[in-house]
Amino acid sequence: MRFYFLLFLTIYWFFLILAPLNAFAEDKIYTCRAVIGGYPQSNGKFYMEVEDQEPKPLLDGITVSQILLNDEGVFYKNNPLRRFERLIPYERVADSKEIQEMEEGLRSWDELIALENYRTFYFQYKTDNKESLKRISINGKNDRTSEITIPFDGNPSYFFLRKCEGANEIEIALPDDPNNKLS
């Protein structure tokens, strides 16, 4: 009887250990570092930094971010102390007039950093004392992400172009249906 009990416990623990490992086998995580950063100035021009220039205080102060892709969706993390947070595809919020107006203006920011053939996601970013809206566009062809942050505290918006590295290039399925909106 003791033998069967130990055998049962061994098999049970074996599945408890292997099941979580197998569940995350299809996750693809990409690490993205900022290569261009900037923000609009009061004179209507943009302040920009590029990774090759010195000094670059804006880029030097930015942590790397991570994009996680799996069957459940696209997730984002920009701090090792945070967990991955689900990104909401633009198509799900495109009915909002405010989002449409904001999107028209922010598309030019993607063009400024030469991001093409991308899919856009949103999420509300909260810390203990700040809140903002993040707009993250992922370009599957060039391993790039554009991250635009719109603070709710009145500070100016800012953006980063990030270069991503992972096992493969980022694979975001672009909508095939012409009725789907692609930003």
The per-residue pLDDT for 58 is 86
Is 160 part of a structural domain of the chain? yes
Is 93 part of a structural domain of the chain? yes
Number of domains comprising the chain: 1
Tens digit of pLDDT at every position of the chain (183 positions): 665 544 444 454 444 444 444 444 467 888 999 999 989 888 988 899 988 888 888 888 888 999 888 888 899 998 888 899 999 998 888 888 888 888 887 877 777 777 777 888 998 888 878 899 999 988 875 488 889 898 988 888 899 999 988 754 455 555 554 444 443
DSSP secondary structure string for all residues of 79-129: STTSPPEEPEEHHHHTT-HHHHHHHHHHHHHHHHTT--SEEEEEEEEE-SS
Is 113 part of a structural domain of the chain? yes
Tell me the pTM: 0.70
Is 51 part of a structural domain of the chain? yes
Is 9 part of a structural domain of the chain? no
Is 42 part of a structural domain of the chain? yes
Is 7 part of a structural domain of the chain? no
Q: What is the 3-state secondary structure (H, E, C) of 146-181?
A: EEEEEECCCCCCEEEEEEEECCCCCCCCCCCCCCCC
Boundaries of domain holding 40: 24-165
β-bridge mates for residue 121, sequence order: 89, 136
The per-residue pLDDT for 33 is 92
The per-residue pLDDT for 87 is 92
How far apart are the C-alpha atoms of 166 and 30, rounded to whole Å?
5
How far apart are the C-alpha atoms of 88 and 106, rounded to whole Å?
17
